Amino acid sequence: MLKDGRVFVIPCSGIGKALGTVGRAAMYEVVEKLRPNEATTICLPLLTIGDEAVLKLARNNPCISVDGCPFQCARKNIEASKGKLVASFMVTDVLRENKDLKPKAVTELDPKGLKLASILAEKLATQIDEINNNNR
Amino acid sequence: MAIVKDKVGVVSCSGEDLPEGTISRIATRIVLEKLRPNDTVTICLPLFLAGSEDERAFARVFPTIAIDGCDKRCAEVGTKKYSGKPVATIVVSEIMQKYPYLKAKSRGKLSAKEKELALKVAEEIAAKVDEVLERKKRGDSN
């Protein structure tokens, strides 16, 4: 399926922290279930290494970063690639609003982590709708 | 800067767009948590660009194995570009050729077969970790 013309949701996928996994799970919930025709993703590492095809996609389409920790690797890599960053989400902000949903496992999310990912996914879907409404 | 001899850095591509990226990420976590918890450390690949010189020193401090989902080899290329040349690279799509009955289809939650594949990849990573540590013990830098 063509990727051009959709909103790119790009999580950090942080491998060292559970909140990186939450961001990644939220992205899949959005691009595979909630907004499969409006949103898609690209590999963040491809942006990091400067892959020409992925750079072009990130520069020509609205991008949303999703970060698990204050390093904000997704946001910084999109900015460094001169991608069209239109919104940034921090998993820590969603956790702050839902303090009882602190996930523990990194590899496979526990029920709390999955719930946190679903809440974030809803927020991402709302943001995608706003972006698309503004572009009409 | 001195190489830390008793730990191996494992850097995974994480490739969000491909099932193989999820396999590489999960396999790396299995090595870190279960197979070689005392011998391995990791770092987020995008942190090489987003972080400071401390993060970029990673592959100069630890002998590093890159774990890539596909032949674009982002972990190998990114580690080399921002930090230092990995001592080895493992590519999930190449390992999959050895196990044609184990397909990677999901990017999110893994099926039983995909978990089995992740474990196979993790075992290959663990074997490579042992090899790197053995080489270091012998004082062989290659």
As for how many domains chain B has, the answer is 1
As for how many domains chain A has, the answer is 1
What are the E-state strand segments in B1-142?
8-12, 40-42, 64-68, 88-91
Average pLDDT of span A12-22: 91
Contact A25, A109 (CB under 8 A): yes
Q: Which of residues 71-90 of B touch A (CB under 8 A)?
A: 72, 74-75, 77-78, 81
Instruction: Give the mean pLDDT of chain B.
Output: 91
Contact A61, A40 (CB under 8 A): no
Residue A106 has pLDDT above 70, yes or no: yes
ipTM of the predicted structure?
Answer: 0.90
A1 domain-assigned? no
A78 domain-assigned? yes
B3 domain-assigned? no
A9 vs A105, more confident? A9
Residue for token digits 């909630």?
A: A34
Enclosing domain of residue B108? 8-133
Enclosing domain of residue A91? 7-135
Task: Tell me the shortest Cα–Cα distance from B138 to chain A, in angstroms.
Answer: 30
Question: Is B13 in CB contact (< 8 Å) with chain A?
Answer: yes
B140 domain-assigned? no
A36 domain-assigned? yes
A24 domain-assigned? yes
* Residue A88's pLDDT band (cuts 50, 70, 90): very high
B142 domain-assigned? no
Could you read off the pLDDT of B112-142 as tens digits, one per residue?
999 999 999 999 999 999 999 998 888 765 5
pLDDT of residue A1: 55
pLDDT of residue A83: 97
A88 domain-assigned? yes
Q: Which of residues 82-121 of A touch B (CB under 8 A)?
A: 106-107
Question: CB–CB of B29 and A15 under 8 A?
Answer: yes
Could you read off the pLDDT of A19-53 as tens digits, one per residue?
999 999 999 999 999 999 999 999 999 999 999 99
pLDDT of residue B5: 58
B84 domain-assigned? yes
Instruction: Give the closest residue to B115 by CA, choosing from B128, B124, B106, B127.
Output: B106
A111 domain-assigned? yes
pLDDT of residue A14: 87
A2 domain-assigned? no
| All residues at 6 or more sequence positions from B72 whose CB lies less than 8 Å from its CB, including other chains | A46, A49, A51
A55 domain-assigned? yes
d(CA B26, CA B128): 17
The pLDDT profile of chain B, 142 residues, written as one tens digit per residue, is 555 558 999 999 988 999 999 999 999 999 999 999 999 999 999 999 888 888 899 998 999 999 999 999 999 999 999 999 999 999 999 999 999 999 888 898 889 999 999 999 999 999 999 999 998 888 765 5
B66 domain-assigned? yes
d(CA B53, CA B82): 10
Q: Helix H segments across chain A?
A: 18-29, 44-49, 52-60, 73-80, 91-97, 111-135
